[in-house]
């Protein structure tokens, strides 16, 4: 295995890089705009878009993923399209039909709950509105982003049980809490999925090993790219939901191609979020049609890069961030550097 020449790679990345600032059509995760850096490598367009508050130690894994997607060969794809869920931000119940209308054909919806400043009653109303819109045949999953204590989660999942939940994503923040909740609600039949406990953990497999989740949420960018995410899926021995992080269509295409490469894909993917963007970097965004997105690479339209270009100081900030993350990847022994070395292997 040859180590990467990170100095050269920084020039390569920044030579084709564009930083965009895209408006959302629905407030999500406290954001109404999304910044992302896209660049072009020999394999096509790639994206580096950790949230702005992430420090280089965490963001460097996202850069490893972006480099992998720009430079490394891809696995064999087993399908050309993947089913996706509608993503319902923590909106008032009355807004649910408007949000769901952006996800044509999606019969699974993921509903954000436990958001700071919200109440359980609002969460229940939102989930009830989603059930009313989807009908009895739809599947509803909720995502608490670790916002509940074990007892709060127990109370909330009991209150939501009448609406029929496919699973609850990261109901509590830590692996021991998830394990405790899982034993407490065994009678309820609600499954638990781990998201932050996979993508923000030092060891993404610890939650599976602890028996603290029924399934794993797998995100290509935070896990270091398609190849490493595939390794984690194979080692975990649990069903997975491939998801994303409010990426542009370029980042979503990384997730879609990961999903399309997995032998077992029985859950709808959380890859429909281009529908929450009011602008994208391509004329053919990966928005859901008939409940699916296509697992294709994205052709970026240069006019859109110009129209939605970030302010010069934000561009400089992202370019410095790339350099800082490359430094982390270049540190010998950094786990991220081990994963990026496979780019040249």
- Interacting residue ranges for ligand OSB, rule: CB under 6 A: 29, 85, 87, 110, 143, 145, 195, 243-246, 270, 273
Residue identified by tokens 């292997």 is 345
Nearer of residues 273 and 340 to ligand OSB, judged by Cβ: 273
Residue 15 to residue 313: CA distance in whole angstroms: 17
What is the nearest approach in angstroms of Mg ion to the Cβ of residue 195?
Answer: 4
Nearer of residues 68 and 143 to Mg ion, judged by Cβ: 143
Determine which one of 34, 102, 110, 112 is catalytic: 112
336 token code pair: 């991220």
125: exposed, middle or buried (C-beta count within 10 Å: 0-12, 13-18, 19+)? Answer: middle
| Strand duo 240-243 + 292-294: pairing | unpaired
73: exposed, middle or buried (C-beta count within 10 Å: 0-12, 13-18, 19+)? Answer: exposed
127 token code pair: 């989930």
- Site for Mg ion (CB under 5 A): which residue of 143, 154, 177, 280? 143
* 219 counts as catalytic: yes
Q: Please say whether the beta carbons of 252 and 226 come within 8 A.
A: no
* 200 counts as catalytic: no
> Using CB distances below 5 to 8 A depending on partner kind, what does residue 270 bind out of Mg ion, ligand OSB, none?
ligand OSB
Which residues touch 344 (CB under 8 Å, ≥6 apart)? 1, 2, 3, 4
- Site for Mg ion (CB under 5 A): which residue of 195, 241, 244, 258? 195
What is the nearest approach in angstroms of ligand OSB to the Cβ of residue 314?
Answer: 19
What is the nearest approach in angstroms of Mg ion to the Cβ of residue 243?
Answer: 7
195 is in an annotated binding site: yes
Contacts to Mg ion by CB under 5 A: 143, 169, 195
Which residues contribute to the annotated binding site? 143, 169, 195
Q: Which residues are known catalytic residues?
A: 112, 219
């Amino acid at each position: 295995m040859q180590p990467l020449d990170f100095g050269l790679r920084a020039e390569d990345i920044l030579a084709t890089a564009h930083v965009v600032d895209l408006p959302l059509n629905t407030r999500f995760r406290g954001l109404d705009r999304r910044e992302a850096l896209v660049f072009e490598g020999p394999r096509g367009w790639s994206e580096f878009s950790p949230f702005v508050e992430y420090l280089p130690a965490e963001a460097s894994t996202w850069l490893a993923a972006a480099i992998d997607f720009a430079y490394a060969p891809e696995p064999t794809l087993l399908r050309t399209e993947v089913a996706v869920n509608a993503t319902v931000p923590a909106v008032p119940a009355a807004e649910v039909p408007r949000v769901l209308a952006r996800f044509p054909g999606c019969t699974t919806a993921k509903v954000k709950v436990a958001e700071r400043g919200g109440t359980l009653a609002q969460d229940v109303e939102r989930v009830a509105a989603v059930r009313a819109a989807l009908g009895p045949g739809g599947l509803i999953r909720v995502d608490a982003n670790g916002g509940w204590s074990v007892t709060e989660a127990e109370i909330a999942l009991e209150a939501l049980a009448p609406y029929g939940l496919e699973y609850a994503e990261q109901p509590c923040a830590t692996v021991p809490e998830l394990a405790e909740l899982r034993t407490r609600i065994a009678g309820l039949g609600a499954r638990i999925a781990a998201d932050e406990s996979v993508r923000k953990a030092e060891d993404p497999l610890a939650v599976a090993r602890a028996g603290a989740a029924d399934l794993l949420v797998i995100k290509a960018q935070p896990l270091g790219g398609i190849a490493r995410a595939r390794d984690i899926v194979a080692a975990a021995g649990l069903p997975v939901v491939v998801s994303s992080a409010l990426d542009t269509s370029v980042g979503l295409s990384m997730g879609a191609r990961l999903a399309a490469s997995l032998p077992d894909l029985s859950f709808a993917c959380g890859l429909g979020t281009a529908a929450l963007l009011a602008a994208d970097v391509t004329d053919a965004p990966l928005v859901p049609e008939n409940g699916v997105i296509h697992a294709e690479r994205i052709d970026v339209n240069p006019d859109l890069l110009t129209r939605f270009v970030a302010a010069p100081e934000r561009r400089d900030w992202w370019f410095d961030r790339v350099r800082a993350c490359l430094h982390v990847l270049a540190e010998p022994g950094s786990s991220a550097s081990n994963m990026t070395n496979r780019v040249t292997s």
